[in-house]
């Protein structure tokens, strides 16, 4: 039977209904409160330490996202978001589809002039806009706290870099929302979907970074000169970066650091090799890259995050279209 009309018929209705449900749900309020408390707590500690510094810094506001006190177990705001954003996204998406099957409402929804395309896309866009709303509110709160406590307004470039970081965080949240919805489509049990999503997050966050150096040593030949000074060879670094970026958290961190740290030597010193240190010999210390150059360096991990969102959602869409819906 050939279907008639646009496949996105009813998309706006589904989006508005799901968006309103997310914003008014107790679950979302608890997740938002957790994110705000963690983010504000980290930023307050950062502000207290940044105010004690006396050296000149052209990008003082960007330190709010990156600063971490030495010998402290408290991560930076960037590290805090890399942990909390996946949890909030999983909390929003793990029961997006299977809850409709469990409540026996899926057949009633599809009996209306609403196609599966519109239902799945509307739920995803509603969850993504909810995450974007929460992250934007947190970003504005952090900037407001910085203005009040430090008394120095951010420059236009700092604002632009902060907005770019916000967009990267939203794309990162979209990856985990798509993954959570994938498990919601595959498993009818909400508990199973939540456990699988959390298990994948724990594996990519904790276990995969421990396995990457072992795999690199097995597949890449070491450079004797680099081994003497305790550095990776260029081939080992390529393998290390390629395997590390299997994790969305690594992509998010890499892209964010490039945007929030304009100094090129900071990028080199994060993962130094013999070749990179040789190239850095003639580099002007303290020079900052312009915003467009930083975005060019951050573009590969950003596009990978966006491609991951599209790929996971497309795979989820194919599986959802093949599922049988009974009354």
Residue 73, class by beta-carbon neighbours within 10 Å (0-12 exposed, 13-18 middle, 19+ buried)? exposed
pLDDT of residue 315: 94
Identify which of 149, 137, 127, 130 has the alpha carbon closest to the alpha carbon of residue 45.
Answer: 149
Q: How many CB atoms lie within 10 A of CB 296?
A: 12
CA distance 67 to 74: 10
Phi-psi region of 3 (alpha: psi -120 to 50; beta: other; left: phi over 0): beta
Give the contacts of 283 (CB within 8 A, at least 6 positions apart).
264, 265
Gyration radius from the chain CA atoms: 22
- What tokens were used for 253? 């961190």
Residue with tokens 């934007």: 136
Burial 24-51 (b: 16+ CB within 10 A, else e): eeeebeebbeebbebbeebbebbbeebe
**Beta-sheet strands, E only, within 102-206:** none
CB atoms within 10 A of CB 255: 28
Name 273's bridge partners: 232
CA dist., res. 11 & res. 118, Å (int): 5
**What is the C-alpha separation between 164 and 195, in angstroms, rounded?**
32
- Per-residue pLDDT 10s for the chain (327 aa) are 566 666 677 888 889 999 998 888 888 888 888 878 877 777 777 777 666 654 556 677 777 787 766 666 667 888 888 998 999 999 998 988 888 888 888 878 877 878 888 889 999 999 999 999 989 988 888 888 878 877 777 888 888 999 999 999 999 999 999 999 999 999 989 999 999 999 999 999 999 989 988 888 888 777 666 566 566 667 777 788 788 888 999 899 889 988 888 776 555 445 444 444 444 444 455 567 788 888 888 898 999 999 999 999 999 999 998 887 765
Q: What is the pLDDT of residue 273?
A: 40
Q: Is 69 left (phi over 0), alpha (psi -120 to 50) or beta?
A: beta
Output the pLDDT for position 317. 92
User: From CA 101, how far away is CA 110, in angstroms rounded?
Assistant: 12
């Amino acid at each position: 039977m050939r279907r008639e009309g646009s496949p996105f018929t009813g998309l706006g209705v589904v989006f508005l209904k799901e968006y309103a449900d997310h914003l008014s749900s107790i679950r979302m309020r608890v997740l938002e409160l957790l994110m705000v408390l963690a983010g504000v707590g980290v930023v307050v500690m950062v502000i207290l330490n940044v105010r004690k510094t006396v050296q000149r810094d052209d990008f003082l506001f960007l330190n709010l996202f990156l600063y971490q006190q030495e010998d402290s177990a408290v991560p930076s705001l960037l590290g805090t978001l890399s942990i909390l954003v996946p949890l909030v996204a999983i909390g929003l998406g793990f029961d997006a589809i299977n809850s409709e099957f469990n409540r026996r409402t899926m057949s009633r929804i599809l009996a209306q002039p609403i196609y599966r395309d519109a239902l799945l896309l509307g739920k995803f866009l509603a969850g993504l806009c909810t995450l974007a709303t929460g992250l934007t509110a947190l970003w504005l709160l952090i900037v407001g706290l910085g203005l009040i406590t430090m008394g120095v307004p951010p420059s236009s470039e700092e604002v632009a870099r902060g907005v770019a970081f916000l967009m990267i965080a939203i794309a990162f949240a979209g990856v985990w929302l798509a993954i959570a919805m994938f498990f919601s489509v595959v498993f009818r049990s909400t508990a199973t979907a939540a456990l699988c999503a959390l298990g994948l997050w724990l594996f990519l966050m904790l276990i995969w970074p421990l396995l990457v150096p072992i795999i690199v040593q097995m597949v890449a030949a070491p450079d004797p000169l680099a081994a003497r000074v305790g550095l990776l060879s260029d081939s080992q670094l390529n393998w290390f970066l390629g395997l590390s970026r299997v994790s969305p958290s690594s992509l998010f961190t890499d892209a964010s650091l490039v945007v929030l740290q304009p100094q090129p030597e900071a990028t080199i010193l994060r993962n130094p090799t013999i070749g990179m240190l040789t190239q850095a010999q003639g580099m002007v210390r303290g020079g900052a890259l312009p915003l467009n150059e930083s975005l060019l360096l951050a573009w590969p991990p950003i596009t990978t995050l966006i491609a991951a969102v599209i790929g996971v959602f497309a795979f989820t869409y194919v599986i959802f279209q093949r599922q049988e819906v009974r009354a």
